Amino acid sequence: MIYLDNCATTKPKESVVKAMVEALEKDFYNPSSLHIAAVEVEKKKEAIRKNIKDYFHCSGELYFTSGATESNNTAINSAILEGKRFGNNVVTTNIEHPSILNVLKAQDVEVRYVPIDSTGHVSKERVVEAIDENTMLLSLFHVNNELGTINPVEEWVPEIKEKFPRIKVHIDGVQAVGKLPVDFDKIGCDSYSFSGHKFHGPKGIGGLLVRKPMTPYFYGGGQEMGFRSGTENTPGIYGLGAAFDALKEEGICLDEARERWQFLKEGVESIGDVVINSIEPASPYIVNVSIDDTRGEVLLHMLEEKEIYISTSSACSSHRTGKNPILTALGIKDSLAQGTIRICLSRDTTMEELEEFIEELKTAVADVRDIMRR
């Protein structure tokens, strides 16, 4: 089996599974209870929180959430609730994740969408042009989930905050954590979201890093420092802690990742009549490619017969109907857009796997084109 859908989810590490089993079988106590067994679980939970904050160089706070969708919704709703005292508009891009775009559509605020250029990148100048004294929130991706393009937020955010000191800045970091170095304090944003299952941690657990306490979005027993009430997901938190321990031990292996990324792009380009939509600066873990005279979904199912797994788009967008808005924003013609696939690597992906994938993809493309070009 060759798994190349790592943007959708990753395989949990053995250490992650082991930590979760420990929480389920041994440390099953409610950390809010007062007896000594529960107090020990509470101590472990807080030690994990501190370790994760240290990983991000975060001098603010970390709230555990159910994942990035909750983190994004919470950050945006809280920022708008607080920001309406002085602002009436929000700035974002037109290729954000649905958990950003859809929550903004539900708000009674003006949303200004900064378009991407023909390479899939966002211009800092166009972002700044969209902001004014009434802008309460700027929400940007760190790494785009479909194209892999990178916003250099460490450069942009401090400049934007200096020019517009009242604005809140939220960064969706889901596809960046575990792939790129992330320094929360250096970025200087007000909130930063991530999800454990994107970097070999468990599903159902993520986090929201915040500069200062935010307006609560969940109310109840006052867990998570009063920000997110509800009994804590200790198995998920234990697993998340193990995933970050692995990241600290292994480090960010960008050179090896870029080597695999370049090899994959060159192999796919050798097929002919293809357009690589992932253009640097981009994550070395995502290759989005449009292959002329094919159908992405047909290629996906042909490859799965060989136990090779890819995707045609973000898993969170796989049920949408109509044109892919990101490919439309890129200006990709319909006939080419229909043949788009997304290949997502992990640090466990090998060159041998990529070689086999490229050969099988060439065969699948040739078979489809043989029919479509008659």
* Catalytic residue list: 316
Under a CB-based contact definition with an 8 Å cutoff, are residues 200 and 6 in contact?
Answer: no
- Give the SS3 label for residue 112: strand
264 closest CA partner among 278, 281, 253 = 278
Q: How far is Cα 74 from Cα 80, in angstroms, rounded to an integer?
A: 10
Would you give the end-to-end CA distance of the chain in angstroms? 33
What residue type is assigned to position 254 of the chain?
Answer: L
Under a CB-based contact definition with an 8 Å cutoff, are residues 153 and 281 in contact?
Answer: no
Q: How far is Cα 22 from Cα 215, in angstroms, rounded to an integer?
A: 33
Under a CB-based contact definition with an 8 Å cutoff, are residues 83 and 127 in contact?
Answer: no
Helix (H) or strand (E) holding 69: helix 68-83
Q: How far is Cα 17 from Cα 26, in angstroms, rounded to an integer?
A: 14
Q: How far is Cα 152 from Cα 171, in angstroms, rounded to an integer?
A: 11
Bridge-based pairing state of the strands 89-93 and 135-141:
parallel
Under a CB-based contact definition with an 8 Å cutoff, are residues 164 and 90 in contact?
Answer: no
**Edge-to-edge strand list for the sheet holding 110-114:** 61-65, 206-210, 191-195, 168-172, 135-141, 89-93, 110-114
